[in-house]
Amino acid sequence: MKTMKLGKTGRDVSRIGLGTWSIGGGSAWGGDHDLQTVVDTIREAPKAGVNLIDTAPGYNFGNSERILGKALEQMNREEIVIITKCGVTWDQEMKGDLFNKVNGIQLYKNLNSASIKREIEGSLERLGTDYVDVYMTHWQSVEGSEYYVPIQKTMDVLNELKAKGKIKAIGAANVDIHHIEEYLKWGDLDLIQVKYSILDRGIEEEIIPCARENGITVQCYSPLEMGLLSGKMPRDYKPVGAQIPKKWFQPENMQRAMDVMDEWKPLCEKYNCTIANLALGWILAQGDFLNLLSGASKVEEIRENVKSAELELDPEDVAMMRNMVEDLDK
């Protein structure tokens, strides 16, 4: 497995991280998985060279963190780089801006100091560890709302947690260029998580240049568009859960994306790889400061994802794939 430095921390991490949103199960993924299967999946990650594991309290009300915590009981904690998050809560006493409602339970966006301090303790307990390697703000505070918290205030408490050793580095997810610039005013920002796939390239104009200039690792989530770019879905696939409202799961868009994947098949033969390998390998080919966050709920899916980091795509093939998907936007 190829490695890279995590921001300015000096820590080596695998170029592919294991995302555990799906492992957490729940209604967003059509139900829960077999516990032993997903625990075994996490434990397989370092054996396959993947030492970076991402989770969040908001993934099925802490279930993703609890499952990771159970897996860690038989893993070497020092070998694993854990990312978890703050800012999405279901604490009915400490409310914030309305977020999703899941199974009748209201989720809130809340980045005030008291909430973050309460959240980190909950995460550490569920994970069964006394520190988190990267602590990220999951969603950014909404300007103009009664619950708005300036990034300076959020960074004050994150820097405090860092000084106490409860977190080792700070990250931010779902950010725009203005958020990033504001975070950098108040401390170190080593990791950002943003949506990036060959079908969704919105971060290329401003965020990628800024991250490159400031030594920030860009971790790309949903690089397979919630499974669409796995190439395994049948033409008559019916979206479930969180897939339903997504752009590329609308019937016409899904068929057009599948048409492009059919055109990639000669490349699969050329590189002896799958459609998913191509989609992930394409992202890694965009720059060595990019990291992939790819979900897996079975051991074989991790092994499949790892193959993507081993791909060496020819520049002309990278350009051809880009041209194909750019045609979809016309």
Cα(164)–Cα(322) distance, integer angstroms: 45
- Contact, 219 vs 291, CB < 8 A? yes
Residue of higher predicted confidence among 212 and 330: 212
Q: Calculate the CA dihedral of residues 13, 14, 16, 20 and round it to 10 degrees.
A: -60
Q: Which of 236, 101, 83, 109 is nearest to 172 (CA)?
A: 83
In a domain, 270, yes or no: no
Q: Which of 139, 137, 145 is nearest to 187 (CA)?
A: 137
The answer to whether the beta carbons of residues 261 and 233 sit under 8 Å apart is: no
Give me the pLDDT at residue 296, please. 81
Q: Is residue 250 part of a domain?
A: no
For 94-145, the pLDDT digits (tens) are 889 989 888 888 999 999 999 999 999 999 999 999 999 999 999 999 899 9
Q: What's residue 124's pLDDT?
A: 98
Residue-number span of the structural domain to which 12 is assigned: 3-231+275-312
pLDDT tens, residue by residue, 223-257: 899 889 999 999 999 998 888 999 999 999 999 99
Residue 293, domain CATH: 3.20.20.100
**Confidence (pTM):** 0.90
Average pLDDT over residues 62-90: 95
Q: Which residues are the active-site residues?
A: 59
pLDDT value of position 100? 87
In a domain, 328, yes or no: no
- Tens of pLDDT, residue by residue over 21-74, are 888 777 777 778 888 989 999 999 999 999 999 999 999 889 999 999 999 999
Answer whether residue 143 is part of any domain: yes
The strands making up 105-109's β-sheet, listed across from edge to edge, are: 88-89, 105-109, 97-102
Number of independent structural domains in the chain: 1
* Residues 255/260/261/263 CA torsion (nearest 10 deg): 130
